[in-house]
Structure 1
Amino acid sequence: MSEARIRVGIGGWTYPPWRGSFYPDKLPQAKELEYASRQLAAIEINATFYGRQSPKSWATWAKTVPEDFQFAIKGSRFCVMRARLAEGAEGIGNFFAQGFSALGPKLGPILWQFAGRRAFDRDDIAAFIDLLPERLDGIALRHAIEPRHQSFNDVKFFEICRARNIAVVLEDSDDYPTVEGDTADFAYARLQRMREEVATGYDEAALDGFAKRARRWRQDGRDAYLFMINGAKVRAPAAALALQEQLGV
């Protein structure tokens, strides 16, 4: 069994304010993924929430990043925004048919983000989880659920996730509650309180707190994914790099 690993990353790689602050000024836009993937260990792709990506794109992205890099992929809105999640079999099938198995070992967790208004309904959530495939073209899949309603702080939710090795996303947000449960052999955090007036997005004390939590996950034998994903997005790369430095990864 390989040693647990901590990966720190950002959401996406194309964002104009990062030019000059993260990307070198004269770096061609076509080289942004290549550059970002050599500074960080993971990127969360959010475009998949809004639409399918082409098989050619997946193949190109796989070739562009280093061998030990991983992409996390955000599940389609057509799967998570319906009234009854249990009725989403067709949408889930379409989502997994878009070709991202081309990433091979560079495929990280699949993120399923629920709307803030969605409360915990045990039967519906359990049925949704039953629809999530465990493998795709021979690749073992990891799933992470990001609940955004306090009602998910429920032992029944954690039990459902634990039975399928599904991670509960730790969300650091001003807008949504933190729901925390150790339910999988990996951990997933989305850190969303960066401030533009802080050069590293989060201050040193906050970064130290995230680093301690990540080290605990690793010590427990769990891979850890931590994404600087929202808030003052212009600071996301600096925040991720600062956290990497604290962790020595």
Structure 2
Amino acid sequence: MDINVPRKDVGLDERRKRRRLRREKQRAENVGRAEKMHLARLAGKGPGRHSTELAKSAYVGCSGWFYWKWRGKFFPAEMPTSEWFTHYAQQFDTVEINASFYSWPTVANVKTWLRQPGTRAFVYTIKVCELITHVKRFGDTETLVKDFGLIGDILGKRMGCFLFQLPPSYRFTEERLRAILSQLDHTRRNVVEFRHASWWNETVYSAFRESGTIFCSCSGPRLPDVLVRTANDIYLRMHGPERWYRHDYSEGELAEWAERIKNSGARRAWVYFNNDYESFAPGNALTMRRLLDQTGFDQAPSEVDVSVAAPSS
């Protein structure tokens, strides 16, 4: 039985079993995939390091693009899945790759991403594999971080950010903060997302500023409703303020976030919508992009003190 094929007639218990088996298989394979990328990096199979010049000041898109629940809503019902990415890329110029969190990508995977947009100007943000963030939890992972960085070298001008997401159980300690920042490759555009509110504090902000690391602001349940800026770039993930992945943001809610982004003084903003469960993400992302255009964010000053933008209400 193919555990990856969606079936409407499969019960909840069976779906959970399939998901557990799939996750176990992915985690077992990630160690070997990471080792292959390590060897590829040592063999110099990437094109080499170079700075990525980005044309835009605001990149707005979705956290992933291949969702069965989007069929008949964002994707036309009769459109074959082979055309889904093209349809997405006709409306957005960036995507946050989530599959890389569950399954460490191969070099072939990354080269496919590189070719996928064709001649379009398109940028990827890559979510770092859970082997680093959830399994090892930054325990002696410096080599793994360097190996994963080969993805950025292959993507070249299509590379946006590396997103490191930590689990909700991962509470703030100064030791953990030092461990994270000491193992990141600070020549990359690194974003760190925490899911425990203890990380929203000035000790973390100050350390991130000093290293140039981007603190990920979140619209999510039980997380501080603030826009934090610790670098020239700001990064915002829209999960849903009360329920994970299911909230349909109103124009008023998005306008408030757009105003905060404009007032942050950042040179560049990355905004990704992860409220994909009921297909709200694409529509919300298009609205946010329009609102940012209306605020004139691309004309925002480039030199402003790094700060935390609190809610207006």
1:111 is aligned, of 136, 140, 163, to 163
Percent of matched pairs sharing the same residue:
24
Q: Does 1:162 align with 2:162?
A: no
Decide whether aligned partners of structure 1 residues 233 and 10 sit closer, same or farther in structure 2, where only a CA change above 3 A counts: farther
Alignment-mate amino acid for residue 226 of structure 1 = V
Q: How does 1:64-79 map to 2 (within 5 A)?
A: 64-65=116-117, 67-79=120-132
> Does the CA-based 8 Å contact 1:195-1:235 persist in structure 2?
no
The alpha carbon displacement at 1:83 in A equals 6.5
Aligned to 2:252: 205
Residue 188 of structure 1: how far off its partner (Å)? 0.5
Deviation at 1:74, TM superposition (A): 0.8
Shift of 1:36: 0.8
Shift of 1:111: 0.7
| Unaligned stretches of 5+ residues in structure 1 | 136-140
Which of 75, 79, 89 lines up with 1:23 in the alignment? 75
Q: How many residues align?
A: 238
The one-letter amino acid of 1:186's match is D
Counterpart in the other structure of 1:173 = 220
Alpha carbons of structure 1 residues 182 and 194: separation in structure 2 relative to 1, 3 Å: closer
TM-superposed CA distance for 1:127, in Å, is: 2.5
Counterpart secondary structure, 2:279 = helix
Deviations 1:125-165 (A, max 9, x none): 22321211134xxxxx2011111222212211111111111
Partners of 1:79 and 1:2 lie apart in 2 by 27
Partner SS for 2:231: coil
In structure 1, distance between residues paired with 2:69 and 2:241: 15
Larger radius of gyration: 2
Amino acid at match of 1:58: V
Q: Which moved more, 1:122-131 or 1:142-151?
A: 122-131
In 1, distance between residues paired with 2:98 and 2:146?
18
Deviations 1:3-60 (A, max 9, x none): 8611111011111121221122332212211221220121111111112122222222
TM-score, structure 2 normalization = 0.68
CA distance in 2, matches of 1:57, 1:2: 23
Output the aligned Cα RMSD.
2.6
CA distance in 1, matches of 2:115, 2:192: 28
Matched residues in 1 for 2:175 and 2:279: separation?
40
The answer on 1:133 being equivalent to 2:185 is yes
Conserved 8 A contact 1:168-1:180 = no
Partner Cα separation in structure 1 for residue 122 and residue 145 of structure 2: 25
Partner of 2:40: none
Is the contact made by 1:149 and 1:177 (CA closer than 8 Å) also made in structure 2? no
Q: Which has the higher contact order (CA 8 A, sep 6+)?
A: 1
